[in-house]
Structure 1
Amino acid sequence: MIFGKTGFGGAVADFEAAVVAQDAKRSGKAFVRLQETFGQAREAELLDGGPRLAAVLEEVPPGPRAVVAVLVGACVERGADAERCAPGVLAGLRTALEGAEAFAGAWRATGGGEFPVPDAGEPGEEIVGRAGFDAAVGWWTLRQWEMAAVALLNHRAVRGRAGEDRRELLRLLTTVEETSGQQFRSLGYALQVLDDEPLVVLHRTSGTGYALRFFGVGDNFQLHTLLADALIGGGHVEGYAPSSQEAAVCRETPGQVDTVGSFDLTAPDGGRLWNEGAPADIPVVDGVRLLVLDEPSYRRSWPAGRFFPGMRGDVILERALEQEETERWFALVSPAKDAPA
């Protein structure tokens, strides 16, 4: 598709050509134009521009590369093909994480101290001197790569194709967080999102069990509300049933709606699973994630909605378990550790 020399489409074409030609002066000018024209870009320019920018990311100099990745993510949020954009962005994320991992280790090894907070510029000479340029840039740009990657990981197809690569990205991120003491919660949660994941839920009060399946659930607040909708709203157990609006905003409807807790989420060993955690925290027992629902120990309210507003999610009840099957699962769980004596 051909666009005029003006506007975002023209800036994409100029930037793409300059990067391929390794023309630093021309690419620098086009880089500025990309940022200046994005806000007025037409839909067709965004659909075309996102994949084209993603395709040349690896050839963009390290400094501006993350900014271009953020623009790619923004194009995806406005309709560009996430699957076509994902390889370039996720490869760049991995490079940034590897650099940030090296930076965190070097920073500790050269005297430690408070980790520098990236600003709009580039890392200074002292910072580069302690860790090296590539490592410093990895640390300096990681928040931007987080923004770009989450925009891509909102899409189930991208998460599916990333496969094992997500495990390595999460490993790198965990090392960076543990070494630096900094948290990249959105990226961590996005890398852990589960799709088509089986879940066995035991409702302790009624002694009943259920087989469910879920996808695209960003955190346990969202999971909590959708479980309550499926089990209480579906008439299977007693308790507070979320309204249709409360459940809808946890699936794909925009916005948030106040809700209250219906359960305490409990691990098979009796420990509490907090709403602030993620479904990936639910332990796997005999090959299936196993969750116990206890009566709420106190009244808790929060805005129901999605941790990732651009990610569609749901919890689907497949069947109620037979009594014998339920008893077999209950034999594998312990009483809640904070239950009243």
Structure 2
Amino acid sequence: MLDQAVDAIELSVRHKDESSYDPAIVSAWQAAQHASRSELDTALPRIAALLGEMPVDAAGRLPVLGGALVELGAAPGPLVPMIVTGLIDTLQRVGTFIETWPQGKERPAFDDDSYDETVSVLSGVHSEEDAQAVAFAWYAVGAWSAPAIAVLQHAEARADLPNRDALTELVERVGPLREDLGFLVELLAVLDNEQFVVLHRASGQGYELTVSGVSGNFQLQTLLAATLIASEGDGLIAGTPPDPVWVAAATDGDLRPAGGVSGQFNLVDHAGSWIWGEGRPADIPVLDGRRVVLLEPQPYPRTWSPGRLFERMRPTVQLDRILPSVEVAAWLTRLSAEQR
């Protein structure tokens, strides 16, 4: 039972019994595979409370266990503050690692077993204690970034993320040197409740939409097509809606459908520049507080896979208003001037 396995973790922490700590975490992970949603929701706050009591460097794989419970269905809320605290602390020391590592000397891989050698090198510029703390952080980032990736796929975690600015600054500074932070960089850039104006010049149609939880522009293109194309028209763009399998790949289905996902538009920003599919919605420029997208014909066929970057993140593209023709004309006239 999961609650009994968490009991064992708590006992090992209370008694400072290092020999039983890791086995207890493994037992809890195994029990979690068969736990109900209510059991997961009961266990996660207990794990979060333990993380709140422990020094960051003593947590070991406990943050990873917390992230695993979220992936299995636990509500992420209790875990979020602890993960952010541990990740910020660890990344701050990784920043120190990068700044003080001897120039010209190759940095160690973060997934190798050269901890002692790393401490020895850092001891040339730090006290022994500080060298150990900085070196440990270099190898411990994954234990905090993995659960962060798990919780940030949930809209409620992104909405209430504490110390977002500090975390984002650290991830952007350290991320280029740590390939394991790539997904975290992308998640912190995800937009929620973002206002879009979408215009279709060929039909003279325009729309106001609210976009949340979309990680990439290929995914955005699929979801815009699914929201705005209709075989009957009725204020929408007349045409053939995207294959339901493609829409599922962009939302909550198989990420990689056979044959990939095909595009139906070329996305262009208000200045006339292509919106590359490999980019993300946050890269689309803002005009008067909204991100403006023009749906243009494809210059050539495009197919991509996967349909979305994050398996558990559920996107929404909500059609708020169909713009009257006079508004669409005003937008298109303005954008023509912008593009000139």
* TM-score, normalization by structure 1: 0.84
**Do the aligned partners of 1:89 and 1:148 also contact (CA within 8 Å) in 2?**
yes
Between the aligned partners of 1:160 and 1:115, the Cα distance in structure 2 is 36
Letter in 1 for 2:315: G
1:331–1:117 CA distance, 2 compared to 1 (3 A): farther
For structure 1, the residue ranges without an aligned partner over 5 or more in a row are: 1-6
SS in structure 2 of the partner of residue 38 of structure 1: helix
* Cα offsets for 1:191-240 (capped at 9, x unmatched): 12222221111223334321111111122221110001112246433566
* Cα offsets for 1:43-73 (capped at 9, x unmatched): 1554333221122214435445252111100
Matched, 1:99 2:93: yes
Matched, 1:308 2:293: no
Between the aligned partners of 1:147 and 1:18, the Cα distance in structure 2 is 23
Between the aligned partners of 2:220 and 2:86, the Cα distance in structure 1 is 31
Describe how 1:44-193 pairs up with structure 2 within 5 A: 46-63=40-57, 65=59, 67-107=61-101, 110-119=102-111, 121=113, 123-127=115-119, 129-130=121-122, 132-162=131-161, 165-178=163-176, 180=177, 182=179, 184-193=181-190
Between the aligned partners of 2:2 and 2:120, the Cα distance in structure 1 is 34
Letter in 2 for 1:241: P
1:259–1:314 CA distance, 2 compared to 1 (3 A): same
Matched, 1:205 2:202: yes
Q: What is the deviation of 1:310?
A: 0.9
SS in structure 2 of the partner of residue 272 of structure 1: coil
Q: What is the deviation of 1:286?
A: 0.6
Q: What is the deviation of 1:255?
A: 4.2
Q: What is the deviation of 1:301?
A: 0.7
Q: What is the deviation of 1:308?
A: 1.2
Q: What is the deviation of 1:280?
A: 1.2
* Cα offsets for 1:83-113 (capped at 9, x unmatched): 1121111221221222222222223xx2144
Q: Which residue of 2 aligns with 1:32?
A: 23
Larger deviation: 253-262 or 187-196? 253-262
**Do the aligned partners of 2:196 and 2:209 also contact (CA within 8 Å) in 1?**
yes
Between the aligned partners of 1:137 and 1:334, the Cα distance in structure 2 is 55
Between the aligned partners of 2:252 and 2:221, the Cα distance in structure 1 is 16
Q: What is the deviation of 1:36?
A: 4.5
Q: What is the deviation of 1:244?
A: 2.0
**Do the aligned partners of 1:11 and 1:30 also contact (CA within 8 Å) in 2?**
no
Aligned residues: 324
Between the aligned partners of 2:273 and 2:323, the Cα distance in structure 1 is 23
Q: What is the deviation of 1:172?
A: 1.1
Larger deviation: 77-86 or 26-35? 26-35
**Do the aligned partners of 1:8 and 1:37 also contact (CA within 8 Å) in 2?**
yes
Q: Which residue of 1 aligns with 2:215?
A: 218
1:33–1:194 CA distance, 2 compared to 1 (3 A): same
Q: Which residue of 2 aligns with 1:321?
A: 323
* TM-score, normalization by structure 2: 0.84
Q: 2:8 aligns with which of 4, 11, 14?
A: 14
The percent identity for this pair of structures is: 34
**Do the aligned partners of 1:8 and 1:34 also contact (CA within 8 Å) in 2?**
no
* Cα offsets for 1:265-321 (capped at 9, x unmatched): 222222222212211111111111112222112211123533111111121222221
**Do the aligned partners of 1:269 and 1:335 also contact (CA within 8 Å) in 2?**
no
Q: What is the deviation of 1:138?
A: 2.7
User: What is the aligned-residue RMSD (CA, Å)?
Assistant: 2.8
Q: What is the deviation of 1:334?
A: 5.6
Matched, 1:277 2:279: yes
Q: Which residue of 2 aligns with 1:243?
A: 243
